[in-house]
Amino acid sequence: MASDSDRIDQLGYLTMSRDRAGDRASALATLQDALNVANGITDKPSKANSLQRVASDYASLSEHSRAKEVIGQALAVAGQIKSVSSRSFAVFEIAFVLDQLGDADGLHRAIGMMKMDDSSIPYVLSEIVHVEAGQGDIDAAIQTNATLRIRKDIVLASEGMRRIATARVRRNGPSNALAWSRSLPSPYDRARALLGVVEGMVDKSGT
């Protein structure tokens, strides 16, 4: 007999197959079946993981409202996990879907549920920078990126500068983004930010 996890995998695959075949109604009904299976799981880590996978499938179908609802359930279940390490792992997986949905607030809540010394936190912070910069909230992205700098994650912080520079091109234009990038004290940050300016200019020329 297939485990609940295997059943959710099978239903997820069937969901996507039916959607690709143009049978949207059947795809959504199948995904609801997967959600029903997930909701019936009693083990908290397994339930959080299963809800996260269902939410990801909803996001892939562009059912963003439903995806946000289900990922909220997943986050709530993860918060009930007593083991700190297991909770952090569950929340880290949930963070990928929150990033997929562009939910910066959800990502901030997720970090608050993780161990402060968890090695995954910088990656979640990087996802927040990605979301905030992508939404044009440059001040918030800079503030979040500064936390990466405080945690001494230089590589991810510099990658954040690239994303922020790209967002500056979109919001303020290439000249502003270029001046900001050149003003950065770290040579590595400047290099990554200048790359972001180029990428932003390419994006603008293609729109």
Between 130 and 149, the higher pLDDT residue: 130
Q: What is the pTM of this model?
A: 0.77
Residues with Cβ within 8 Å of residue 133, at least 6 apart in sequence: 141, 160, 163, 164, 166, 167
Q: Which domains does the chain have, with CATH numbers?
A: 1-101 (1.25.40), 119-207 (1.25.40)
Please report the pLDDT score of residue 84 as a whole number. 85
Write the pLDDT tens digit of every residue in 142-175: 999 998 888 777 888 888 999 999 999 998 899 9
Q: Which of 150, 152, 148, 151 is nearest to 163 (CA)?
A: 148
Q: Which residue has the tokens 């949930």?
A: 94
| Positive or negative torsion for Cα 110, 112, 117, 121 | positive
- CA 141/CA 137 separation, integer angstroms: 6
Report the distance separating Cα 166 and Cα 159, nearest Å.
11
Residue 202 confidence (pLDDT): 87
DSSP codes, 85-150: HHHHHHHHHHHHHHHHTT-HHHHHHHHHTS-TT-TTHHHHHHHHHHHHHHTT-HHHHHHHHHHHHH
Does residue 70 have a pLDDT over 60?
yes
- Rounded to an integer, the average pLDDT of 58-87 is 93
pLDDT of residue 181: 92
pLDDT confidence bin for 204, thresholds 50/70/90: low
pLDDT in tens, 1-41: 668 888 999 999 999 999 999 999 999 999 999 999 999 99
174-193 tens-digit pLDDT: 999 999 999 998 888 899 99
pLDDT of residue 151: 79
- 120-129 confidence digits (pLDDT tens): 888 889 999 9
Res 207 pLDDT > 60: no
CB atoms within 10 A of CB 90: 29
Residue 205: per-residue pLDDT: 64
